[in-house]
Homo-oligomer: A and B are copies of this chain.
């Protein structure tokens, strides 16, 4: 609401907006649950038509749709609502890029509860709920694997194609595979590649299902268990460590990457996907803000800068560390060479 360059009177609106920001969370969640975006995409553009399609009250639909318009998800022209471009692509269930289901992971109870105790987290420097979801076979990670896959398709495709430029991979370790989509796209781009996906057993069931569905099931192998404890075997020319290191402190990351280093062939690559803030730690906003998610939900994880990742990886024995220029959505890929 402020315009750059125009001096503003101090107003409490920023404070009130932030304090009430949870309303956006609840409104978008409600809209996904009620299929408001899908209803509008189908041509139900008035309050009455949307309410009928979504089995909701007209008063509730009117208020919700106005709120979604204020926050840029919908357009409003007279009494007609429409989908803003982002909502049409990502929030209409009939869109191939639909990712409304991600709320099933992003808003799980434990994440909300850990944030509700943010004052305690800031005091003690880590999640007020202790180990959080970093315990064995935690069902939250099955939800992650199922709910977050659509959000990862685009980054996984970019990653596989960037990695392909550096040479064909043959034996690929996919750590904390989750939905398995990162390894699956590497397999699709490297016809000779065998993927070894490591995650908790309950989570790997999701990766296995996805690998079969996407036609690479015969080259997709499972290593169930904790990535810290299981035997990876060796001879890998590529290891994928995607959205994993941010859960742990730098010493733990370094120790872990030594284990990965040992599993790689000489010249092998470790490809790390992370939210990577700039050295100022306040830009770009989404990557930098991810640090708060880790403060609230993990004992000592973080969003690491490139310099921090480079140090961990060099301390783990890697000879060269580079950040790929192409962003993977809000994430970045850092490649370390054995």
Q: Could you list which residues of chain A lie within 8 angstroms of chain B, going by C-beta atoms?
A: 1, 8, 10-30, 33-34, 55-64, 66-67, 69-73, 76, 84-91, 99-100, 102-103, 106-107, 112, 115-116, 118-119, 121-126, 151, 280-283, 285-286, 288-289, 291-296, 300, 302, 329-330
Q: Are A18 and B24 in contact (CB under 8 A)?
A: yes
Chain B nearest Cβ from A305, distance in angstroms? 11
Q: Are B115 and A66 in contact (CB under 8 A)?
A: no
Known: A22-B25, A288-B70, A289-B67. A56 touches B126 (CB 8 A): no
Q: Are B60 and A106 in contact (CB under 8 A)?
A: no
**Besides A13-B330, A16-B330, A23-B293, 13 other A-B contacts (C-beta < 8 A):** A1-B285, A12-B99, A13-B86, A17-B286, A18-B25, A22-B25, A26-B118, A29-B119, A59-B126, A60-B295, A61-B122, A63-B295, A70-B282
Chain B residues with Cβ below 8 Å from A126 are 57, 59-60
CB < 8 Å neighbour of A119 from B18, B30, B124: B30
CB < 8 Å neighbour of A86 from B11, B25, B286: B11
Copies of this chain assembled into the complex:
2
Q: Are B300 and A59 in contact (CB under 8 A)?
A: yes
Q: Are A112 and B291 in contact (CB under 8 A)?
A: no
Q: Are A30 and B102 in contact (CB under 8 A)?
A: no
Chain B nearest Cβ from A111, distance in angstroms? 10
Chain B residues with Cβ below 8 Å from A25 are 18-22
Chain B nearest Cβ from A214, distance in angstroms? 21
Q: Are B70 and A151 in contact (CB under 8 A)?
A: no
Chain B nearest Cβ from A15, distance in angstroms? 6
